[in-house]
Amino acid sequence: MITVSHTRATGGSISDCIEEWQSPKGRASAVGRCATRVSYGQLTQRYKLMRQAAQREGFADRFHSVPLAVSFDPQWNYDLPQPHSPRHSRTFTNPQGQVQGTCIHLGTCDIGCDVRAKNTLDLNYLAAAESAGADVRPLHRARFVRPVVDGQRYEVAFERIADGALEPGTVRADKVVLAAGSLGSTELLLRSRDQYATLPAVSPALGSRWSANANVLTPDIYSNPADVQQTVGPTISAGLDFMDGSVAGQRFMLEDDGFPNFLLNTVNAKLRSQWFSPFVWLLKRHLQRHVVSNNPCR
Ligand SMILES: Cc1cc2nc3c(=O)[nH]c(=O)nc-3n(C[C@H](O)[C@H](O)[C@H](O)COP(=O)(O)OP(=O)(O)OC[C@H]3O[C@@H](n4cnc5c(N)ncnc54)[C@H](O)[C@@H]3O)c2cc1C
């Protein structure tokens, strides 16, 4: 939960960014600063498979690298000794003063990057918001919203999770922005309308026609997993652009999609804790060697 009691006038504030994003010219420049593409020396196996498929199907002109909110070091490549070792991630301080690292193709974009190569909200907009005066309150679960007596202000009721218990509290503001995701925001509004009856005028259409982003996952089967290397590299790196609506009037993108190596990540997490076992250490070495030596990108 984020509360803003005042904003300091600082250059490059969030509102500046929003304004920049609202104009097509500004958006192009903002993307140029924030998003990068996988460089030629770092193309993943999935990228190459997708490019091959596009060429075979006659869609080579629709194939491109997608812009990613990830920081890359152009010097990194699959031929480095132990390429996924954190020692190859170069650290730098981003414009918000947060320390980040460069991508070493750990394949964990979906579950959190160990070297902070993803330009995530906490390292960017939230950090910028905090330095502009916003108060970020972790472990606070908003429950419902209600207008306060004069109707000009709103009160958000929350529960703070502390020592295994829930401590109730409230906070008031002139403006409340619900940004709890499509599920969280819908839940908050449903509770406010139906459970607490604090926002009775919320539309009966709320929550209907919800969809999971209209995503369709289409798996393919390869007899040798090394041909795909699904657990290595940025989760998405390539796309086929059909946004012109030329196929049956539908506008869509096809993208490659990786999947984290959960076993290797579990073993790594275990070894980072105080707990140590020679068996787990050997298992980690085995899994890592398998990932690196079987990668056709080398
Ligand atoms: C597996 C996966 C992969 C994805 N990959 C991509 C991708 O490659 N590219 C892309 O563009 N998009 C991707 N998306 C979609 C993208 O993540 C979402 O569109 C985006 O995160 C939505 O942002 P948001 O701020 O609206 O909500 P969220 O990012 O969901 O943030 C909502 C926040 O509100 C908090 N919250 C919820 N309820 C409450 C409450 N009651 N009180 C307090 N806090 C609450 C949540 O904990 C969360 O931190 C992916 C999504 C998933 C699940």
pLDDT in tens, 186-210: 999 999 999 999 999 999 999 998 8
Tokens of 84: 């996924």
* CA 211 to ligand 1 center in whole angstroms: 14
The pLDDT tens digits for 35-71 are 688 887 899 999 999 999 999 999 999 999 999 999 9
- At residue 147, the 3 state secondary structure works out as strand
pLDDT at 153: 93
> Do residues 141 and 267 both lie within one domain?
no
216 is a domain residue = no
213 is a domain residue = no
Number of domains in the chain: 4
pLDDT at 12: 38
pLDDT-flagged residues of the chain (< 70): 1-35, 275
> Do residues 290 and 253 both lie within one domain?
no
> Do residues 131 and 2 both lie within one domain?
yes
Nearest CA to ligand 1 atom 47: 180
Q: Which of 111, 136, 161 is the last residue of a domain?
A: 136
Counting from 1 in the atom list of ligand 1, the atom nearest the Cα of 236 is: 8
Nearest CA to ligand 1 atom 23: 181
223 is a domain residue = no
> Do residues 2 and 131 both lie within one domain?
yes
pLDDT at 197: 97
> Do residues 16 and 128 both lie within one domain?
yes
* CA 115 to ligand 1 center in whole angstroms: 21
> Do residues 180 and 116 both lie within one domain?
no
> Do residues 28 and 151 both lie within one domain?
no
Nearest CA to ligand 1 atom 4: 110
Measured CA to CA, the distance from residue 221 to residue 227 in angstroms comes to 10
> Do residues 150 and 278 both lie within one domain?
no
283 is a domain residue = yes
* CA 181 to ligand 1 center in whole angstroms: 5
* CA 119 to ligand 1 center in whole angstroms: 14
> Do residues 85 and 146 both lie within one domain?
no
Mutate to test the pocket of ligand 1, among 235, 237, 257, 262 (most ligand atoms within 8 A of CB): 235
DSSP class of residue 290 equals H
Nearest CA to ligand 1 atom 7: 236
> Do residues 1 and 74 both lie within one domain?
yes
Measured CA to CA, the distance from residue 199 to residue 164 in angstroms comes to 30
267 is a domain residue = yes
Find where tokens 């460089």 sit.
Answer: 39
Plot region of 208 (φ>0 → left; ψ -120 to 50 → alpha; else → beta) = beta
pLDDT at 18: 42
Nearest CA to ligand 1 atom 53: 110
Which domain covers residue 23, as residue numbers?
1-34+69-136
Pairing of the two strands 2-4 and 92-93: unpaired
> Do residues 86 and 203 both lie within one domain?
no
218 is a domain residue = no
* CA 81 to ligand 1 center in whole angstroms: 36
DSSP class of residue 67 equals P
> Do residues 151 and 193 both lie within one domain?
yes
Measured CA to CA, the distance from residue 117 to residue 115 in angstroms comes to 6
226 is a domain residue = no
Measured CA to CA, the distance from residue 215 to residue 194 in angstroms comes to 30
Tokens of 35: 């998003």
Counting from 1 in the atom list of ligand 1, the atom nearest the Cα of 141 is: 42
191 is a domain residue = yes
* CA 95 to ligand 1 center in whole angstroms: 23
Provide residues with CB under 6 Å of ligand 1.
1, 110, 141-142, 179-181, 184, 188, 236
Q: How far is CA 84 from CA 156, 185, 210, 268, in A?
A: 45, 38, 39, 12
